[in-house]
Structures are given as C-alpha cells and as structure tokens.
Structure 1
Amino acid sequence: QTTTDFKEVSPEQSRLGGYANLKGRLIFSFRAIEWPAQQLNLVIDKALLNNAQSILQKFIVFSKAQISTPDTHVMGLLGAEFEQLLLAQFGFCPTKLNQTISNEQVSITRLHGESRWLLLVKAEFSDTIWTQLSQQSTIGSVNDWRLAQIAAGETPVLPETTELYQPQELNF
C-alpha cells in the first residue's frame, strides 16, 4: 500500500512516496532516504508522524526491522547559491534528481524543482551546520518551502489533506 519501490532506494538514491488506505487514498507522504547504510529514513510531515508510526507498527512485527525516530534534524535548502555553498562546506553536492550523497554528519538529497536540496543532519552537528549555512543565506518560512514543493510538482500530504487524494492526483 505504498507508492514506492523500496528496492530503488539506496545510499545514492532517494524516492518520494506515500502510504494509501484500502480505498487508495493517501494517508501520509514521505521521502525515503537510506542513511546511514542499512537504515531507511522516511521523512514525514511532523504533524502526521504519530499516525504514520502507528500504521507502520502494524507491519513491522512481520519483519526484522525496527521503527524509531532518529536524533536527526531536517533542513531544506532552496536557491541556486546552495550548490556552491554545499560544495564548499561538505565537498559534495548532488546534482541529479533524487541523488543522495552522504557522510557521517549529513545526507544531502537533490529534490524536484529548481535548486532544492533536503539535508538530514545528525543532531550533534546540526547547530554548527545551521550556523554556517544561515550566515551565508536567507532563512525562509515553511510556506516558502511548501510553495517551492508545489511549483516542483511535489505536493505533500498534510494533516488537512490526509485521505483526500489518490496517489496519481499528487504525482506519486
């Protein structure tokens, strides 16, 4: 009941997806990122996290996997200047759609749309990375990010839209 082929998710490739109910309506959407190796992160809207965990918990009992909320911070970067900034800061910056490049501190994924990246940052490094990035850029709002998502054709399921849409209506 997910829209993602998890075989396509690797340390180098992320995938956008969603989980649908029996009627085919999306309950939540996510970005699947493998980081560190053998650990799958589903980046989900915070307001839908508890519901997503309770749904996934029903299936996890049949596998060797575990559900947890890692001590990881999520940052979204929007703007052409970040390509050079990420290269200078980390020595790498993914350029292909859904490409993920990681090290021990951070995982960076190139998203749909113009100059968009998603960073997963281990908590112990987040203050330093945030300070360095925010000193060289403008801090936007969640609404700025949502608008960029929509412009890129990447519409997330939010609390107000849960169970309203079928996957094909949101390009999943």
Structure 2
Amino acid sequence: MNLIWQAYLRNHGAIIQNGCVVGFGDNAAELESARSATVLSDLSHFGLIHFSGEDAQSFLQGQLSCDVKQVNASAALYGGYCNPKGRLLASFLIWSKGIGNGGGYVMQLPAVVRPGIQKRLAMYVLRAKVKLADASDDLVCLGVAGDDAEALVRKNLGEVPASRLGVIHSEFVSIIRLAQNRFELAIVPEKAPAIWEGLSRDAVPVGAPCWDWLEIKAGIPIITPATQEQFVPQMANLEAIGGVSFQKGCYPGQEIVARSQYLGKIKRRMYLANIRPGISDSQVEAGDELFGDMGEQSIGMVVNASPSPDGGFHVLAVIQTSSVEAAAVRWKSLAGPSLEIAPLPYSLS
C-alpha cells in the first residue's frame, strides 16, 4: 500500500493490518451497509502488475486464458493464468493503462500472490520487448458499490462506462464498471484523497471483507495461495464471466482447458453458498475441503469465503455437481454444517 495513502486512511479512521484495510471500527455495521447502502472500499489488498513495451499484447496473449486483444482503452477483462496442466495459478482483472506513464496493461490480483506471479511471468519474457513492474503503489484503487453507486461516481467524476467491464479514462482516473451497481476507480495517488472525500460524503467507508463479500455474491473467483493449482478455469466459472477464450492461440495449459470444454461435461463447478458454523468452530476459509455423498473422499473446496450480513459465511466453492444435485454437501467433514446453495448472478452452460 502506498505509504502516504495509508497514512491518509488511518487519519480517517481506517484500521490497517498488513497493508489491508480491515475495517473502520464496526464490522457488523459495515457488512450491513454493503448489503443495503452504497459503500466505498479501499482495494489495496490487491496488487498491480504493469506490462509495458511494444510486445506486451503478444506476450500476454501467449500466457493468459483471456483474449488480450479485446482489452483496450474502453474494455477490461477477467482472466486466468494457468500452469502447464491447466490449473489456475491466478485469476485477475486486466485493463489498458490509460493514465500516468508507460501505456500497456495493468493486471490486478491479490497482493499476496502478486510477487510470485510477476516473477513467473518474467521468466518467459526472453527476447520479447516487454517489461513487468510492480505498480501497486502507482495507483490507488477504490471500489464503489450499491444502488446509488453510478449516480455517486457520476456526481464526483463525470461520465461513467455504460456496459459491464467498460472503461473510461481521464487524466487522473480510470473508471471500470464491474456490474450494474459496482465500480472500480484506479486513481493517481495525489488525487485519491480528494476523490475519497467526495465519495465518502454519500457512501459508507468499509473494509476489505465487505468488498470480498460483494465479489463472492457476484460470483467472481479470487485465486489465493490456498487454492493455487486446484482448478481448471471452467471449474471456477471463469469462462462464464468472459475470462477464457476458446478461439485464441496457445497459452500454458490451453490444451487441457480446451479438452475440458469440448470432450465432456465439467464434473465440478463453482457454486455460491452459505455456511453456518457452530459457535466453537473456526471461521470458514479458502482451501477448506467439503464432503458429502462420496464418503471420506473430498467432493469440493472453498474458493473464497467472507462473513455474511445474513449470519455465517458466504462462500464460493468448487463442488462435484452430482453432490450438489444430491443435496449432500458439508463443510470440513461428513458431520460438519451443510452448505445452503444459492443462485449465482450468471448462468452456466
């Protein structure tokens, strides 16, 4: 997290741990605001990699699951980075860098995995004219969500993108429309305080767990160290949110990803669910295994988890589809709490 920005947030009531805004003093009230009001969240728990140089597009096109040629000044994409076996090492949001210096692309992914992914990608640059740089301190990223999010962003920054994953750049901010009522702002640091002050007059400042809950409700998978190399992209519904292209050329794991798509039904899919652990149980976490109609054999894994304003935890979990159909999915053991499956905001083929 940019240290000047960190000091600013602390002066405005933020509780920061390990570079992440965990809240503003009342986690339960913040979660309720995320459900029922318009909220403002710092997104410094995500890191940024900047790709620049004349070969940046072709390099990324040969490494990522999404069609980077579709990323331009007015469009962002979700995507994945796989190992040679087609298992996800990272999921991300990528957009064209329209502010500051260098042009190229910005990849946003969890800060905890950013160094390893950047190092791995750099190994494959070879003679390509492309440079990778940690841009996590170069931009301040904010999330705005809620029924009044569009009106609020428009009031403070002017025009907003009309469509999902549309992008508008100005001299000092890139506005990305994540959904009908969710936006991300990537801001040059010197302008961030004024924008925060303007937005926070009408939006409730909340911590990262609230934004994580909104991502879960939106069905957006975030690959963390606990789940790296566990899923092919379709298991995590990445193709359903536009993160996989089956028409582009090769990338690591592409043959396995394509085979999974065309040679049979995906046996595991990602579901939205609620888990209500007992009082004595630990909290639900990414990487927790799930059990059910296959006895002691795991039938799935939690991808992401966050406390829910409804109680318990909302999760995204990759689960054997037959087990979901049998209504037999439990957390951590056959005797654990059952998962209450909820509808996703998008359809699966």
Percent identity between matched residues is: 28
The residue number in structure 2 matching 1:29 is 91
Query: Match of 1:159, as an amino acid?
Result: P
Structure 1 unmatched ranges of 5 or more: none
* 1:44 is the counterpart of 2:132: no
The CA distance in 2 between the partners of 1:135 and 1:39, in whole Å, is: 34
Query: Match of 1:80, as an amino acid?
Result: D
Counterpart selection for 1:167 from 233, 240, 243 = 233
Q: Shift of the alpha carbon at 1:73?
A: 1.2
Root mean square deviation, CA, Å: 1.5
The CA distance in 2 between the partners of 1:122 and 1:39, in whole Å, is: 16
Query: Match of 1:46, as an amino acid?
Result: A
Q: Shift of the alpha carbon at 1:95?
A: 2.8
User: 13-22 or 132-141: which moved more?
Assistant: 132-141
1:90-141 deviations in Å (ceiling 9; x for gaps): 11111311100110111011114x5111111111111221222122211122
Counterpart selection for 2:150 from 83, 92, 96 = 83
8 Å Cα contact 1:60/1:67 also seen in 2 = no
TM-score (norm 2): 0.47
1:20-48 deviations in Å (ceiling 9; x for gaps): 11111111111111022732000111111
The CA distance in 1 between the partners of 2:82 and 2:71, in whole Å, is: 19
Q: Shift of the alpha carbon at 1:62?
A: 3.0
The residue number in structure 2 matching 1:99 is 166
The residue number in structure 1 matching 2:36 is none
Q: Shift of the alpha carbon at 1:81?
A: 1.2
User: 11-20 or 129-138: which moved more?
Assistant: 129-138
The CA distance in 2 between the partners of 1:31 and 1:46, in whole Å, is: 13
Task: Considering fraction of residues, name the structure with more helix.
Answer: 1
Counterpart selection for 1:73 from 140, 164, 167 = 140
The CA distance in 1 between the partners of 2:230 and 2:206, in whole Å, is: 28
The residue number in structure 2 matching 1:153 is 219
Matches within 5 A, 1:137-152: 137-152=203-218
The CA distance in 2 between the partners of 1:134 and 1:62, in whole Å, is: 46
The CA distance in 1 between the partners of 2:78 and 2:183, in whole Å, is: 13
Task: Considering fraction of residues, name the structure with more strand.
Answer: 2
The CA distance in 2 between the partners of 1:90 and 1:135, in whole Å, is: 14
User: 40-49 or 133-142: which moved more?
Assistant: 133-142
The residue number in structure 2 matching 1:10 is 72
